Structure 1
């Protein structure tokens, strides 16, 4: 039994050492590519002790069910590639109420997100291709690997601070409008 525990300990230390050397090599900058109608650009996101810093890549407005009332406007960072969507808001230690991350998928599918390596509580807002909010997972637990499904098909997913939807009265049936 003791030999088994020693093997596990040695393997854990090896993995931790490998992760630490990878992290130290990549601690200064993370490169991301974004596409726009004018071509491809490369932007650098600085990694700080507080996690990856926010990069404003557009603005988003929440519109009431009637479409006439603007409930709130925020700055957004976009997650358009598989890599950007996989990273999401992982390792961020904070975000302001006027910031969020908009995940853009190529198709309408039922989605499910989790909070692995995500240190801040989030409201996860699932949005259809017609820009209507189809479901919301509120106050997602940081670092949880529990699946948080959309229950309906969504093309967009927006992550904002936990409690945002309650604070600004954002609800199912409301719409969004965004621009890059």
Structure 2
């Protein structure tokens, strides 16, 4: 991940690219290492909604457009909640990381994720 100031933050991500893996997500896990996350990749760019059903830990959900730009962050989500968490905008992916970590690391909307799934400006 790269901030607007050029600061790089590295995460080890598990990719959820199939419907069954996206449905399972981080459910039933009791912890997640600080520098790890799960990247949900979608087949189409469109608004999405997530939830926290059977998810025991709070997460930050970073909603990412097709160019790798973070367009919205849902911070410190509520574990086990059935409430829908909206991307607000069309997205290609969602990166879930430990709840509160985006604020701790200064991750903001407008920052970019660098990953092979994204082909926008400044991407490899």
The structure carrying a bigger helix percent of its residues is: 1
Q: Which runs of 4+ in 1 moved over 3 A?
A: none
Query: Across the two proteins, how many residue pairs are aligned to each other?
Result: 117
Higher relative contact order (CA 8 A, sep 6+): 2
Give the aligned partner of residue 56 of structure 2: 119
Kindly provide the CA deviation profile for residues 80-114 of structure 1, in whole angstroms up to 9, marking residues without a partner as x.
00000000000000011110000011111101100
Which structure 1 residue ranges, 5 or more long, are not aligned? Answer: 1-61
- Give runs of aligned pairs for residues 55-66 of structure 1, distance below 5 A: 62-66=1-5
Give the aligned CA root-mean-square deviation in angstroms: 1.2
- Give runs of aligned pairs for residues 126-145 of structure 1, distance below 5 A: 126-145=63-82
TM-score (norm 2): 0.91
TM-score (norm 1): 0.63
Q: Displacement of 1:65 after TM fit?
A: 1.9
Which structure 2 residue ranges, 5 or more long, are not aligned? Answer: 118-124
The structure number with the bigger radius of gyration is: 1
- Give runs of aligned pairs for residues 28-67 of structure 1, distance below 5 A: 62-66=1-5
Kindly provide the CA deviation profile for residues 41-77 of structure 1, in whole angstroms up to 9, marking residues without a partner as x.
xxxxxxxxxxxxxxxxxxxxx10125x321x111000
Residue from 2, 14, 29 that aligns with 1:77:
14
Q: For the residues of structure 1 that align with 2:7 and 2:93, how far apart are their CA atoms? A: 21
